[in-house]
Amino acid sequence: MSAAPILEVRDLDLFYGDAAALEDVALDVGAGEIVAIIGANGAGKSSLIRTIHGIEKPRRGRILFKGQDIAGWPSHRVADLGIGQVAEGRQIFAGLTVEENLDVGGFLPRGRATRARNRDRVYALFPRLAERRGQHAGTMSGGEQQMLAIGRCLMGEPELIMFDEPSLGLAPAIVQEVFGIIEQLNRDGITVILVEQNVAVSLKLAGRAYVLENGRIVLSGTGQELLDHEGVRQAYLGM
């Protein structure tokens, strides 16, 4: 990591009841990086994102965002500091229109004053959403709903976005489009944490990556180093 760290996680433990979901997790994300987190089902990837975002409370550890320890903060304060997340399963409001969903995303103090401008930006990035601004979100296709989830996140003007399985359940052409959007947002200056079942693609996209196994970071390196790593190839790339 060459850039200044925007996020530093240290000594992070998360428990669900008596069961440890994250143990002693440490990672760094540099400003402007794309960092991938890979791991098997149940490894703790979503738990890590949810803990960073304040949805789960860690038992121990520090989560430094631009040097400030946000561990244990409520999610809305984390979002208001500039950390966005696009959750697994997208979690849009099905009964609201496209535009109403975006307005919910623009409700944070952070994005409130600039809501109209941010909405225009989202519509420029996703013309399909502009065409369908009055449509109920629940009637949109899976790909459109993923675009909406990303758009809603952008309404909060995040500096860092954590994506949890953004390609899940999407057709290959749409998957390419979603990854293209993630790359474009990164080029525009947004730092990215990417959790993705599609390990080959995510390691190609990522500058660096971490491997999570049973709640612990067991390996890290550049995307290319992990693509070439024998253990990673066997466990996650089926080679």
CA–CA distances in Å: residue 136 to residues 144, 145, 153, 186: 11, 10, 18, 29
Among 7, 35, 46, 163, contact with Mg ion (rule: CB under 5 A)? 46
Contact region with Mg ion (CB under 5 A), list: 41-49, 57-65, 167-175, 185-193: 41-49
Q: Rank residues 44 and 106 by Cβ distance to ligand ATP and give the closer one.
A: 44
Q: Does 42 bind ligand ATP (CB under 6 A)?
A: yes
Q: Rank residues 36 and 122 by Cβ distance to ligand ATP and give the closer one.
A: 36
Q: Which residue is nearest to Mg ion (CB)?
A: 46
Q: Rank residues 38 and 98 by Cβ distance to Mg ion and give the closer one.
A: 38
Structure token pair of residue 120:
């225009």
Among 6, 33, 45, 161, contact with ligand ATP (rule: CB under 6 A)? 45
Q: Does 47 bind ligand ATP (CB under 6 A)?
A: yes
CA–CA distances in Å: residue 149 to residues 9, 108, 185: 26, 16, 14
Q: Does 16 bind ligand ATP (CB under 6 A)?
A: yes
Interatomic CA distance for residues 190 and 158, integer angstroms? 7
Instruction: Please list, in sequence order, all residues whose beta carbon lies within 8 angstroms of the beta carbon of residue 222, skipping any fewer than 6 positions away.
Output: 207, 208, 209
Q: Does 51 bind Mg ion (CB under 5 A)?
A: no
Contact region with ligand ATP (CB under 6 A), list: 4-12, 39-47, 118-126, 226-234: 39-47
Contact region with ligand ATP (CB under 6 A), list: 24-32, 38-46, 116-124, 137-145: 38-46
DSSP for 161-189?
Answer: EEEESTTTT--HHHHHHHHHHHHHHHHTT
Q: Rank residues 144 and 196 by Cβ distance to Mg ion and give the closer one.
A: 196
CA–CA distances in Å: residue 25 to residues 34, 105, 112, 230: 18, 30, 34, 23
| Residue 15 CB, nearest approach to ligand ATP (Å) | 9
CA–CA distances in Å: residue 154 to residues 119, 121, 173, 192: 9, 9, 23, 13
Q: Does 46 bind ligand ATP (CB under 6 A)?
A: yes
Among 7, 28, 35, 44, contact with ligand ATP (rule: CB under 6 A)? 44
Q: Does 21 bind ligand ATP (CB under 6 A)?
A: yes
Among 5, 39, 61, 106, contact with ligand ATP (rule: CB under 6 A)? 39
Structure token pair of residue 200:
């080959």
CB 225 within 8 A of CB 216: no
At 157, give phi and psi (nearest 5°). Answer: 50, 55
DSSP lists the bridge partners of residue 22 as: 14
Among 6, 7, 12, 43, contact with ligand ATP (rule: CB under 6 A)? 43
Q: Which residues bind ligand ATP (CB under 6 A)?
A: 16, 21, 39, 41-47
